[in-house]
């Protein structure tokens, strides 16, 4: 290397020195250690003991693991597509020339920055089976069928729908992302489509959706990653990691947390974390493949 | 944006109106509940507005609680014996036996009238608490916001009981400074402010190294950096806990802000992208004038990068304010709790009964974020839009 190259290397490493430490201590070491622990028996109180594939084979026969995986996939399977639909609809509405647009945008966005613990409190109150305002609103619908409205978080059949419903309240973030995407669609496309006699449905289907497909893809991936790791609202609203009632809200991250920090089975928990990683990577890969031909990148 | 037909306009405004109701109502309900007295939260159908009921007794207006609406002809009677002597109860007329010496008749209660009780601060009933049946017209209803729910929620959040706060019982440990909302606010502020400082300084430095200096191995290192963004937090959780444990940081606030001084992959990426848009000629000119890299970074690049620094700062603040899992993992003693964790522990202690105080405490946690939003609205919206579409 020349003197100049040495100098640049020194400067570059100097500027990056904090990151060299940070990446090593807070990311690379934990990744390596976690991979090692996943093949070990480890309780943090004692040194890890090599156990080979034991953690992974235990997982296969662990009913609670499968329940948590099933619950998580059900939650993600509903909340991600519904969230995409709701946020896209809101963004399409906001993309019109309407009076007070900024006000609507603020109203749709604000819930997504409310601290999750606070919004969990609020929704527990709304879902309350006895005095909850939601049951007052939808109670008449249930009575039409001769039913009483559900106890939501108190009923194993309704606790997941409650959490899915609540997740839709926080879609403001992806609404703003969609809106930014919608505003990048050149107006001329719509104009020429209108001249050719395209209906508003056709404009949506053949111009808007293809033009914002990269944004839809981004929101889909973010949705998958986020919903598979859902933790805080469930922990708060169902009172810990039991997944009450009747394990109906025992999600993957809750089971992982309680395995690691309550049962101190840190090896098993690390193995679970790696399975989660593979699951996220796998689903992302599937989504990417499915999207490849449908995504339209302009410029 | 296109011009709309009248039918289209109608549809769009209907949709927006419906959306507004669904998205704004929960927050409005939180606020309304936070200023209600407890008994007005425990009613079905729900009561929309917080009110005060008053009845004129002996020429004096007295605030009362509406306990029960009389549905069938009844009588109000008072027990004359037993350990519940003096207690008043409602009884259906046909079940009342005037010859029974155990009860004394107070008055008849016609359907449509109300059983009301004089309202005391704690709703505790003692001998002198007045309880009567009054007709609907006698009850005056007016709007009354119980702002005092807020100071009570502030005081009780740390685990002190309501009775202690109101002074009806003596504090159990008068010597130690009580843990209140302000303790948690202080902790949260430390974590947020130091975290934001660390995020802005470290990531700007690191990103400068990646964006504006050419060095061997840089692109490989940057690729590695990007790859780490894919790792979900649960993978790191267990070993990170071990790292902080061996540093002796469990039970302190350090794990919540120190790491932000060592960069984060996402922010490095965000800032690098921004720095690359600043013309290289600026740096070249400064180098020819004999400026050091450090001076170029500090005097030229940083001042030009305010928008991206603001975005990173804002989103870290939001993250640190809202974070629950981190505090749950690392904090052990109440004095070190952040607001998010304290709010959850407040809820689990009170078993979800005192909804008015819970909503007041939640409101207090939300308000700073909403204020922040209104001051930094542009940065928020631009930040999300750029991180979303260009990220």
B228, B259: one domain: yes
Q: Tokens representing B362?
A: 């939640």
pLDDT 10s digits, B319-353: 999 999 999 999 999 999 999 999 999 998 876 67
Closest CA to A232 of B192, B155, B233: B233
Q: Which domain holds residue A74?
A: 59-292
pLDDT 10s digits, B240-284: 999 999 999 999 999 999 999 999 999 999 999 999 999 999 999
* Mean pLDDT, chain A, integer: 94
Q: How many cross-chain Cβ pairs, A to B, lie less than 8 Å apart? A: 295
Report if residue B41 sits inside a domain: no
Residue of A5, A94, A117 lying closest to B344 (CB–CB)? A117
CA B81/CA B101 separation, integer angstroms: 9
- What pLDDT, on a 0 to 100 scale, did the predictor assign at position B391? 38
Count of all residues that appear for chain A in the document: 299
Is the distance from CB of A210 to CB of A296 less than 8 angstroms? yes
Most A CBs within 10 Å: which of B7, B11, B15, B16, as the mutation test of the A interface? B16
Asked if the model's pLDDT at residue A299 lies above 70, the reply is no
Does A18 contact B329 at a Cβ distance shorter than 8 Å? no
Residues 24 through 53 of chain A touching chain B, CB cutoff 8 Å: 25-31, 33-34, 37, 44
Quote the number of domains for chain A: 1
Quote the number of domains for chain B: 3
B257, B212: one domain: yes
Q: Which domain holds residue B232?
A: 181-389
Asked if the model's pLDDT at residue B92 lies above 70, the reply is yes
- What pLDDT, on a 0 to 100 scale, did the predictor assign at position B160? 77
pTM of the model: 0.93
Exposure on the CB side of residue A86, measured as CA atoms within 13 A: 24
- What pLDDT, on a 0 to 100 scale, did the predictor assign at position B357? 93
Q: Among A195-204, A214-223, B12-21, B154-163, which is the least confidently predicted range?
A: B154-163
Chain B residues with CB inside 8 Å of A280's CB? 232
Q: Tell me the CATH number at A164.
A: 1.10.3720.10
Residue of B44, B239, B268 lying closest to A130 (CB–CB)? B44
pLDDT band at A298 (very low <50, low <70, confident <90, very high): low
pLDDT band at B44 (very low <50, low <70, confident <90, very high): confident
Residues 121 through 180 of chain A touching chain B, CB cutoff 8 Å: 121-126, 128, 130-133, 136, 169, 172-174, 176-177, 179-180
CA A148 vs CA A124, A136, A151, A165, B43: distances in Å: 19, 11, 9, 19, 17
Report if residue A297 sits inside a domain: no
Closest CA to B86 of B106, B66, B69: B106
pLDDT 10s digits, B362-377: 999 999 999 999 999 9
Does A113 contact B42 at a Cβ distance shorter than 8 Å? no
CA B211/CA B230 separation, integer angstroms: 21
* ipTM tops 0.85: yes
Is the distance from CB of B78 to CB of B102 less than 8 angstroms? no
Asked if the model's pLDDT at residue B173 lies above 70, the reply is no
Does the beta carbon of A189 lie under 8 angstroms from any beta carbon of chain B? Answer: no
> Looking at chain A, which residue has its C-alpha nearest residue B235?
A273
B273, B128: one domain: no
Q: Among A243-247, A275-279, B3-7, B28-32, which is the least confidently predicted range?
A: B3-7
CA B90 vs CA A151, B39, B99, B351: distances in Å: 31, 19, 17, 30
Does the beta carbon of A260 lie under 8 angstroms from any beta carbon of chain B? Answer: yes
DSSP secondary structure code for residue B47 in this structure = P
> Looking at chain A, which residue has its C-alpha nearest residue B202?
A18
Q: Tell me the CATH number at B242.
A: 1.10.3720.10
Closest CA to A180 of A265, A97, A94, A296: A94
> Looking at chain B, which residue has its C-alpha nearest residue A256?
B234
CA A287/CA B294 separation, integer angstroms: 44
Asked if the model's pLDDT at residue A209 lies above 50, the reply is yes
B282, B357: one domain: yes
> Looking at chain A, which residue has its C-alpha nearest residue B45?
A136
B215, B349: one domain: yes
Chain B residues with CB inside 8 Å of A134's CB? none
Does A30 contact B328 at a Cβ distance shorter than 8 Å? no
Closest CA to B372 of A99, A106, A266, A104: A106
Does the beta carbon of B283 lie under 8 angstroms from any beta carbon of chain A? Answer: no
């Amino acid at each position: 290397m020349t003197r100049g190259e040495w100098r640049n290397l020194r400067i570059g490493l100097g500027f990056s020195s904090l990151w060299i430490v940070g990446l090593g201590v807070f990311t690379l070491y934990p990744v390596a250690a976690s991979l090692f622990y996943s093949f070990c028996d480890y309780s943090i109180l004692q040194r890890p003991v090599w156990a080979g594939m034991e953690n992974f084979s235990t997982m296969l026969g662990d009913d609670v693991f499968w329940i948590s995986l099933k619950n998580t996939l059900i939650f993600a399977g509903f909340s991600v597509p519904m969230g995409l639909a709701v946020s896209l609809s809101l963004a399409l509405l906001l993309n019109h020339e309407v009076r007070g647009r900024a006000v609507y945008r603020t109203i749709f966005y604000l819930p997504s920055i409310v601290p999750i613990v606070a919004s969990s409190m609020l929704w527990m109150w709304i879902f309350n089976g006895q005095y909850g305002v939601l049951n007052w609103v939808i109670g008449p619908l249930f009575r039409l069928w001769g039913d009483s409205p559900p106890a939501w978080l108190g009923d194993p059949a309704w606790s997941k729908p409650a959490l899915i419903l609540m997740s839709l309240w926080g879609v403001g973030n992806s609404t703003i992302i969609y809106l930014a995407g919608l505003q990048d669609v050149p107006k001329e496309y719509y104009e020429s489509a209108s001249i050719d006699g395209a209906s508003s449905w056709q404009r949506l289907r053949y111009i808007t959706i293809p033009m914002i497909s990269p944004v839809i893809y981004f929101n889909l991936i973010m949705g998958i990653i986020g919903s598979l790791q859902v933790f805080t609202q469930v922990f708060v609203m169902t009172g810990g990691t039991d997944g009450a009632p009747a394990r109906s809200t025992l999600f993957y991250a809750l089971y992982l947390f309680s395995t690691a920090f309550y049962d101190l089975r840190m090896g098993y928990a690390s193995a679970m974390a790696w399975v989660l990683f593979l699951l996220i990577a796998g689903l992302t890969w599937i989504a990417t493949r499915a999207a490849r031909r449908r995504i339209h990148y302009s410029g | 944006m296109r011009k709309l037909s009248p039918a289209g306009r109608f549809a769009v405004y209907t949709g927006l109106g419906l959306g507004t109701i669904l998205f704004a109502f929960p927050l409005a309900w939180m606020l309304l509940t936070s200023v209600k007295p407890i008994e007005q939260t425990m009613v079905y159908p729900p009561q929309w507005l917080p009110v005060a009921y008053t009845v004129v007794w002996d020429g004096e207006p007295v605030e009362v609680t509406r306990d029960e609406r009389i549905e069938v002809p009844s009588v109000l009677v008072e027990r004359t014996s037993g350990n519940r002597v003096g207690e008043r109860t409602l009884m259906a007329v046909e079940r009342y036996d005037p010859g029974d010496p155990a009860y004394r008749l107070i008055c008849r209660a016609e359907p449509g009238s109300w059983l009301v009780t004089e309202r005391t601060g704690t709703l505790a009933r003692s001998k002198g608490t007045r309880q009567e049946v009054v007709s609907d017209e006698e009850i005056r209803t007016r709007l009354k916001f119980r702002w005092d729910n807020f100071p009570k929620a502030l005081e009780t959040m740390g685990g002190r009981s309501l009775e202690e706060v109101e002074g009806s019982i003596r504090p159990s440990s008068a010597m130690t400074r009580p843990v209140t909302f302000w303790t948690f606010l202080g902790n949260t502020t430390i974590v947020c402010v130091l975290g934001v400082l660390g995020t802005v300084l470290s990531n700007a430095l690191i990103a400068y190294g990646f964006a504006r200096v050419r060095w061997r191995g840089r692109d490989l290192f940057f690729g590695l950096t990007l790859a780490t963004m894919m790792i979900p937090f649960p993978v790191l959780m267990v070993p990170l806990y071990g790292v902080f444990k061996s540093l002796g940081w469990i039970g302190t606030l350090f794990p919540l802000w120190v790491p932000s001084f060592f960069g984060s992959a996402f922010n490095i990426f965000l800032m690098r992208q921004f720095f690359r848009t600043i013309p290289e000629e600026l740096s070249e000119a400064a180098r020819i004038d004999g400026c050091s890299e450090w001076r170029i970074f500090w005097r030229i690049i940083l001042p030009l990068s305010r928008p991206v620094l603001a975005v990173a700062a804002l989103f870290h603040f939001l993250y640190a304010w809202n974070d629950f899992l981190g505090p749950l993992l690392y904090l052990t003693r109440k004095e070190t709790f952040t607001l998010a964790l304290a709010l959850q522990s407040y809820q689990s202690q009170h078993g979800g009964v005192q909804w008015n105080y819970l909503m007041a405490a939640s409101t207090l946690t939300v308000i700073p974020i909403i204020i922040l939003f209104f001051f930094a609205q542009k940065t928020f919206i631009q930040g999300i839009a750029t991180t979303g579409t260009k990220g």
